[in-house]
């Protein structure tokens, strides 16, 4: 086992670790970056469907508010390094960015690998030593003082260490939860961990019959007192096992949390957010008057995709083919209830292997928000998803990884 000495050792070459390495090296520090996988930035490569949604155009205040209870902790970091700083940083590495929909920012090439290549090139230019296939197993100490890290191949002496190991989701891309034992070694507590930004498994089996179908204008909320006022608007896509979609992914962490205490959790869905019960009553009344011999499952397909319209008709105890003038009051009430307030029962998520982020992580109260330094062990810093910070879909998590990487890298090199 060889011994080597550096100013700063960084564990994990995701966006947080690579960004920390670059800013520390720009401050003339001798930096080493250890990555357990064969290549750096595995999650960046698969992010945003291979295009990497880097960040977005939300104003600072509304961006921060999307992080829920961790908003207060992350504010100083985003005050120092926010979307404009990230875009300039990436552009200066010769990767132009684009914002085609007016909100989400991607590399103009739509290739996430361009970002990884540029970060790797900048690390090389700054003489950052990158050791891939190098897993860090523990922190090492001299007396009570942090002295470096131990990998499977070597001991790396370094008075400053940055843990940027990500969460425990998407194992094949490095989400092994490798940072939690290291944090615990320094006395840090890890909060409960949940898969987040993950598809939901439903108790109903009919979504499988609609697999691949998207309902574009749904609205929905978690049927629990804590979330009933938090209505989400967006598309729902059916899968072989349940439901997904960007806004569905956003509520999945809360559902995973609730599923720890309850066997099932219901999501109330309006399949056409512009149509409330009274709108449907008025419309069905009009159909009864103007086109009484038309079939109800065909009529409602003017507002709801046909395959779903068929299922909701059957779920409302109405035979497919029933003419609108033959519907009983009870059938109409049931159908409208199912179209506007359907109770979709969730009994699981696709789990950590399919979750885009991990909810939970290193407890924030023991970390200084201005520097990302541990309050328990001077010289130890954290950055990225390993901390108990997670945001919704749309570039929030990668922005957090870069911003906290900047803060940790800059503070550690002071
Ligand atoms: C499919 C998918 C799509 C996504 N799309 C987006 C998107 O478009 N926009 C967005 O904002 N977010 C997206 N995310 C989330 C985003 O990728 C992560 O939040 C972000 O990568 C976290 O960055 P990080 O640097 O903290 O951790 P990671 O990117 O997970 O990097 C951590 C690195 O540490 C390494 N490591 C772990 N333990 C050790 C150890 N003991 N020793 C050495 N190395 C170790 C890992 O191998 C890994 O390479 C997506 C995630 C997934 C899975």
Q: Is 398 in the pocket of ligand 1 (CB under 6 A)?
A: yes
Q: Is 53 in the pocket of ligand 1 (CB under 6 A)?
A: yes
Q: What is the DSSP string of 53-86?
A: --EE---HHHHHHTTGGGHHHHHHHHHHS-HHHH
Atom of ligand 1 nearest to the CA of 17: 25
Which residues, 6+ apart, have CB-to-CB distance to 212 below 8 Å? Answer: 237, 238
Q: What's the mean per-residue pLDDT of the chain?
A: 97
Q: Would you state the pLDDT for residue 4?
A: 81
Q: Is 385 in the pocket of ligand 1 (CB under 6 A)?
A: yes
What's the whole-number mean pLDDT along residues 399-413? 98
> How many Å lie between the centroid of ligand 1 and the Cα of residue 386?
9
Strand runs labelled E in 81-179:
97-98, 104-107, 129-131, 136-142, 145-151, 154-157, 160-163
Q: Would you state the pLDDT for residue 228?
A: 86
Element (H, E) at 30: none
Compute the Cα dihedral for 295, 297, 298, 299 and give only its sign.
positive
What's the whole-number mean pLDDT along residues 199-210? 97
| C-alpha–C-alpha distance, residues 86 and 22, integer Å | 13
Distances in whole angstroms, Cα of residue 64 to Cα of each of 308, 400, 406: 37, 10, 17
> How many Å lie between the centroid of ligand 1 and the Cα of residue 393?
14
Which residues, 6+ apart, have CB-to-CB distance to 203 below 8 Å? Answer: 264, 345, 346, 347
Q: Would you state the pLDDT for residue 252?
A: 97
Q: Is 12 in the pocket of ligand 1 (CB under 6 A)?
A: yes
Per-residue pLDDT at 399 exceeds 60: yes
Per-residue pLDDT at 100 exceeds 90: yes
Pick the closest to residue 381 from 354, 351, 412 (CA basis). Answer: 412
Mutation probe of ligand 1 site: the residue of 43, 177, 180, 409 with most atoms within 8 A of C-beta = 43
Antiparallel, parallel or unpaired: β 160-163 and 8-11: parallel
Q: Each residue of 294-333: b (16+ CB within 10 Å) or e? A: ebbbbbbbebbbeebbbbbbebbebeeeebbeebeeebbe
Atom of ligand 1 nearest to the CA of 151: 42
Distances in whole angstroms, Cα of residue 43 to Cα of each of 17, 90, 174, 252: 12, 17, 8, 20
Provide the greatest CA pair distance for the chain: 86
Q: Is 175 in the pocket of ligand 1 (CB under 6 A)?
A: yes
Pick the closest to residue 411 from 376, 361, 377, 369 (CA basis). Answer: 369
DSSP label at residue 208: G
What's the whole-number mean pLDDT along residues 117-130? 98
pLDDT band at 393 (very low <50, low <70, confident <90, very high): very high
Q: Each residue of 229-262: b (16+ CB within 10 Å) or e? A: eeebebebbbbebbbbbebbbbbbbbbbbbbeee
Pick the closest to residue 11 from 143, 153, 178 (CA basis). Answer: 178
Q: Is 43 in the pocket of ligand 1 (CB under 6 A)?
A: yes
> How many Å lie between the centroid of ligand 1 and the Cα of residue 166?
5
Q: Is 372 in the pocket of ligand 1 (CB under 6 A)?
A: no
Q: Is 131 in the pocket of ligand 1 (CB under 6 A)?
A: no
pLDDT band at 2 (very low <50, low <70, confident <90, very high): low
> How many Å lie between the centroid of ligand 1 and the Cα of residue 45?
10
What residues does 97 pair with on adjacent strands?
107
Per-residue model confidence as pLDDT tens digits over 140-159: 999 999 999 999 999 999 99
For atom 53 of ligand 1, which residue has the closest CA? Answer: 356
Atom of ligand 1 nearest to the CA of 398: 11
> How many Å lie between the centroid of ligand 1 and the Cα of residue 307?
37
Q: Is 394 in the pocket of ligand 1 (CB under 6 A)?
A: no
> How many Å lie between the centroid of ligand 1 and the Cα of residue 100?
25
> How many Å lie between the centroid of ligand 1 and the Cα of residue 44?
7
Per-residue model confidence as pLDDT tens digits over 313-324: 999 999 999 999
Q: Is 237 in the pocket of ligand 1 (CB under 6 A)?
A: no
Q: Is 356 in the pocket of ligand 1 (CB under 6 A)?
A: yes
> How many Å lie between the centroid of ligand 1 and the Cα of residue 30?
24
Atom of ligand 1 nearest to the CA of 178: 38
What residues does 373 pair with on adjacent strands?
381
Per-residue model confidence as pLDDT tens digits over 147-194: 999 999 999 999 999 999 999 999 999 999 999 999 999 999 999 999
Rg (CA), the chain: 25
Q: Is 367 in the pocket of ligand 1 (CB under 6 A)?
A: no
Q: Which domains does the chain have, with CATH numbers?
A: 2-191+360-412 (3.50.50.60), 199-350 (1.10.8.50)
């Amino acid at each position: 086992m060889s011994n080597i000495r550096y100013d700063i050792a960084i564990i994990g070459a995701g966006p947080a670790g690579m960004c920390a390495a670059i800013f520390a090296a720009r401050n003339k520090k001798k930096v080493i970056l250890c990555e357990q996988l064969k290549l750096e930035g595995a999650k960046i490569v698969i992010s945003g469907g291979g295009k990497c949604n880097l960040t977005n155009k939300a104003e600072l205040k509304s961006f921060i508010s999307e992080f829920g209870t961790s908003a207060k902790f992350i504010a100083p970091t985003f005050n120092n390094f926010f979307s404009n700083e990230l875009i300039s940083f990436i552009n200066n590495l010769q990767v132009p960015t684009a914002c085609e929909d007016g909100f989400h920012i991607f590399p103009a090439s739509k290739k996430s690998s361009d970002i990884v290549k540029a970060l790797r090139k900048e690390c090389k230019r700054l003489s950052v030593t990158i050791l891939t296939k190098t897993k860090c197993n523990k922190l090492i100490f001299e007396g009570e003082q942090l002295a470096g890290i131990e990998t499977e191949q070597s001991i790396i002496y370094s008075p400053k260490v940055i843990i940027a190991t990500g969460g425990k989701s998407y194992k094949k891309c490095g989400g092994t939860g490798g940072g939690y034992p290291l944090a615990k070694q320094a006395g840090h507590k890890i909060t409960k961990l949940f898969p987040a930004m993950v598809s939901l498994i439903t108790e109903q089996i009919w979504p499988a019959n609609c697999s691949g179908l998207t309902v574009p204008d749904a609205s929905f909320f978690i049927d629990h007192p804590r979330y009933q006022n938090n209505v989400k608007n967006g598309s729902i896509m059916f899968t072989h096992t349940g439901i997904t979609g960007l806004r569905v992914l956003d509520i999945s962490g809360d559902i995973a949390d609730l599923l720890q205490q309850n066997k099932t959790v219901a999501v109330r869905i309006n399949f056409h957010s512009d149509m409330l019960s009274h709108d449907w009553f008025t419309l069905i009344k009009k159909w009864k008057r103007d086109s009484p011999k038309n079939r109800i499952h065909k009529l409602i397909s003017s507002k709801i995709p046909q395959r779903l319209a068929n299922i909701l008709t059957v779920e409302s105890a109405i035979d497919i083919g029933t003419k609108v003038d033959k519907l009983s009051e009870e059938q109409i009430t049931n159908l409208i209830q199912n179209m506007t307030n359907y109770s979709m029962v969730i009994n699981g998520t696709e789990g950590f292997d399919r979750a885009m982020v991990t909810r939970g992580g290193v407890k924030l109260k023991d970390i200084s928000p201005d520097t990302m330094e541990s309050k328990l062990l001077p010289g130890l810093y954290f950055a990225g998803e390993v901390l108990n910070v997670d945001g919704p879909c749309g570039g929030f998590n990668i922005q957090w990884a870069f911003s906290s990487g900047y803060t940790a890298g800059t503070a550690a090199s002071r």
